[in-house]
Structure 1
Amino acid sequence: MTVSPRALLRRVILRNFKSIGFCDVRLQPLTYIVGPNGSGKSNFLDALHLVRDALNSSLDNAMNERGGLAEIRRRSSGHPTHFGIRLEFELPDGRAGHYAFDIGALKDRGYEVLNEECALGEAGQGPRFKINRGEVKACSETTFPLVTADRLALVAASGLAAFRPVFDALASMGFYNLNPRLMRELQKPQEGRLLKPTGENIASVIGHLERVAPGQQAIVKEFLQSVVPMVQGVERKQVGPMETLEFLQEMAGARHPWRFLAQNMSDGTLRALGVLVALFQGNRDYAPTLVGIEEPETALHPAASAALRDALVRASAQTQVLVTSHSPELLSDPDLSDDALLAVSSVGGSTHIAPIDPASREAMRQHLFTAGELLRLNQLVPDPAIVSQQSARQAELFGGSEV
């Protein structure tokens, strides 16, 4: 196995998560999740986001932020079901592994982690643990911290050197649905190591990059100029006890760029900056293992799509990138591989996620159509044969990895 310089999420299996009854998909360093509004693209990203939130705060907080178990688990034939998530990954040292859990309801409207499993390396040979309803059933380590059925055991296990790399990889994922209104407002100075999901601490993140990663800041500036040519740069600006962003903008006849605070900038400019900061926020001390972005093309002029696409490709060389989109312009790249696409559709309220169908795949490989052109023709759909196989032979959440 070749050694990767960063962790990669290779495979995701979901069962009964929101509108997704079941899916089993492989991910690339850059993956586009494509489908119409309301098809369930966001639910796929939110399953990964839930894992990240549960590891960084608590499972209870992560579920309550989503309305509780009743809003998370999918109802099948009118009956409540438990939901489960399995993530297969490759760590920076080349070791493959998986992490999985499923959660069910209790009679008092509470919930419990029914099963939780983590394994690294060859089956039965590397670090591993298996837990059922808060009881350790198997473990490679001589000691294991106390666990309870209302929390994910990986949080406690992160104190053990054997499982710390798994925790770090999954807890360092970042997910973004950027909100220009929050980015425009004056912000309290915050810890700026990682951009928050809606961009509400972007001024602190820009300040952090100015101090510790000027090279990354220069990349953000370079791509921002490509997306919004009039903007010459952006800086953190102190305003009393608060902070905001200050943009340098070229003005006709002026010798030097004019300065404008974030409150004067358009939604498109702020969203473009947020996307670029999310992609290139990594520095020598910290970098997200995966960045998931909801519809980065929103509020951007179609002409900016090529520059945005170039930014996504460049960022994916260092950080795994997942993007939801329904933009033909963003996907109009003759060099885009069909393997980088996952198509999403909704049938009877159930979300299907799979590689694109064989006809569209072949059209892209023969360079007859780009993915963007196929999207305009409503031809980017999940392969029905793969969807049928997934439904008929659902992969197990627990057991050996296939990375």
Structure 2
Amino acid sequence: MTSPVFLTRVVLRNYKSIGNCDVKLQPLTYLIGANGSGKSNFLDAMHLVRDALVGSLDNALSERGGLPEVRRRSSGHPTHFGIRLEFILPSGMRGHFAFNVGALKNGGYEVQTEECAIGGRGKGPFYSIERGKLKQSSESTFPAVTSDRLALVAVSGLTAFRPVFDALVSMGFYNLNPKLMRELQKPQDGRLLKPVGENIASVIGHLEKHAQEQIKTIEEYLQTVVPMVHGFERKAVGPMETLEFRQDMAGSAHPWRFLAQSMSDGTLRALGVLTALFQGNRDYSPTLVGIEEPETALHPAASAALREALTKASRHTQIIVTSHSPDLLDDPNLDPDSMLAVLSEGGETHIAPLDEASRRAMREHLFSAGELLRMNQLTPDREVLATQAKNQADLFGDISV
């Protein structure tokens, strides 16, 4: 089986509360930290990349309140932010995509530098752009680009760079909203679940047609989390659609059927999380799935099933979850390498692997990650943070090994 890892390394500069970040990702990565520590901002940086490629950079920034709300606020008043994503394509080729966006005096913004390379500089497809002008490229022809858009959108028309574009837009990021999942939905593209679950009926319908084995997996985990629920299916309601659930009722020999509008927040969130995890199929599969606090609205007893589902899904799709739940992490077999600790100090977010004391306690089975979290002992490695601050990683240049 090929590795599920798509993003191997993420470097951020001045993104929201994150001044500087340089971390490596695993098939399953837990971002652990208190409320308000900046976990969501880390996921949002990758989400912005996807939004800017699917729509436009202008829309992606506007949806987040504009450049002033995206770049980090500090006494130093940074005027730019930067993102670097290192990846492994489905073909096995490594590469990176990086850019920084800076403010203009008239209140606008520009992509100051953008770079994409597959296989390393001089070894494969490559381009470098500064302020809307092509500086270097491996290709004999190159589309027109402008400084207010990411060039990869235009460059995706070239065969060499299409795999990078396709992989980045196939990332999915989720903060599921039971209220919207409960409402009647217009039929939509069901290949990829949308961020708050607003097209979940279409996604379930797509899986019913193309991946019955995934539906079975989702149903099995959902029944473990919500034992009364025996199944679900897409249901047409005039020109709209919703989900219909089969649920045990006392005194009835057969399950009763209920539409999504009658189901609890916990049940709908659980279904949304499981659908996000197991939506991949032969027709379409996400390269990465990021989920905000998947344990929200679930009973603590469901944590073991959720943790098992996360692990199973990560064998086929790279998974990143944010959490501050000791119950979700209460497993002595969790790998300390799969965790990144997130800490906020002075309004700035710091992200790094766990410190050596925490790692040793987990490796020697002295404490589980959940127990350490209850004792407030899951903290980032201070030496790594000091190194990050002293030797800030270059957004541009060849990939790290």
1:76, 1:22 → 2: CA distance?
Answer: 13
1:366 paired to 2:361: no
2:234, 2:246 → 1: CA distance?
Answer: 11
1:291, 1:15 → 2: CA distance?
Answer: 22
1:352, 1:32 → 2: CA distance?
Answer: 15
1:247 paired to 2:242: no
Secondary structure in structure 2 of the residue aligned to 1:346: strand
Which residue number corresponds to residue 39 of structure 1? 37
2:317, 2:253 → 1: CA distance?
Answer: 38
2:136, 2:5 → 1: CA distance?
Answer: 25
Which residue number corresponds to residue 307 of structure 1? 305
Letter in 2 for 1:177: N
Letter in 2 for 1:230: M
Secondary structure in structure 1 of the residue aligned to 2:304: helix
Per-residue Cα deviation, 1:344-402 (whole angstroms, up to 9, x for no partner): 00000000000011100110011101111100000011111111110111010000101
1:177 paired to 2:175: yes
1:126, 1:190 → 2: CA distance?
Answer: 37
Which residue number corresponds to residue 65 of structure 1? 63
Letter in 1 for 2:156: S
1:85, 1:392 → 2: CA distance?
Answer: 18
1:89 paired to 2:70: no
Deviation at 1:180, TM superposition (A): 0.5
Per-residue Cα deviation, 1:244-282 (whole angstroms, up to 9, x for no partner): 111101123322111011111111000000000001111
1:120·1:127 contact (CA, 8 Å) conserved in 2? yes
Which residue number corresponds to residue 274 of structure 2? 276
1:164, 1:97 → 2: CA distance?
Answer: 13
Which sits farther off after the overlay, 287-296 or 72-81?
72-81
2:230·2:248 contact (CA, 8 Å) conserved in 1? yes
1:6·1:91 contact (CA, 8 Å) conserved in 2? no
Per-residue Cα deviation, 1:225-248 (whole angstroms, up to 9, x for no partner): 111111000111111221111110
Secondary structure in structure 1 of the residue aligned to 2:312: helix
1:4, 1:225 → 2: CA distance?
Answer: 30
Letter in 1 for 2:248: E
2:4·2:27 contact (CA, 8 Å) conserved in 1? no
Which residue number corresponds to residue 118 of structure 1? 116
Letter in 2 for 1:271: R
Which residue number corresponds to residue 352 of structure 1? 350
* Percentage identity across paired residues of the two chains: 72
1:322 paired to 2:292: no
| RMSD (Å) for aligned C-alpha atoms | 1.1
Give me the TM-score of the superposition, normalised by structure 1.
0.98
Question: Which of 157, 160, 166 does residue 159 from structure 1 map onto?
Answer: 157
2:211, 2:395 → 1: CA distance?
Answer: 40
Letter in 2 for 1:42: S
Deviation at 1:6, TM superposition (A): 4.9
Deviation at 1:124, TM superposition (A): 1.5
Which residue number corresponds to residue 331 of structure 1? 329
Question: Unaligned regions of 5+ residues in structure 1, if any?
Answer: none
Secondary structure in structure 2 of the residue aligned to 1:80: coil
Which residue number corresponds to residue 236 of structure 1? 234
2:281, 2:93 → 1: CA distance?
Answer: 24
1:152, 1:8 → 2: CA distance?
Answer: 20
Letter in 1 for 2:206: H
1:5·1:93 contact (CA, 8 Å) conserved in 2? no
2:4·2:315 contact (CA, 8 Å) conserved in 1? no
Secondary structure in structure 2 of the residue aligned to 1:28: coil
1:7·1:92 contact (CA, 8 Å) conserved in 2? no
Which residue number corresponds to residue 391 of structure 1? 389
Deviation at 1:172, TM superposition (A): 0.5
1:75·1:81 contact (CA, 8 Å) conserved in 2? no
1:7·1:169 contact (CA, 8 Å) conserved in 2? no
1:344, 1:119 → 2: CA distance?
Answer: 30
Which residue number corresponds to residue 78 of structure 2? 80
Per-residue Cα deviation, 1:50-81 (whole angstroms, up to 9, x for no partner): 00000111111100000000000013324232
Per-residue Cα deviation, 1:56-108 (whole angstroms, up to 9, x for no partner): 11111100000000000013324232000000111122211111000001111
Which residue number corresponds to residue 54 of structure 1? 52
Question: Unaligned regions of 5+ residues in structure 2, if any?
Answer: none
Letter in 1 for 2:77: H
Give me the TM-score of the superposition, normalised by structure 2.
0.98
Deviation at 1:5, TM superposition (A): 5.4
Which residue number corresponds to residue 186 of structure 1? 184
Deviation at 1:296, TM superposition (A): 0.2
Q: How does 1:133-152 map to 2 (within 5 A)?
A: 133-152=131-150
2:281, 2:292 → 1: CA distance?
Answer: 23
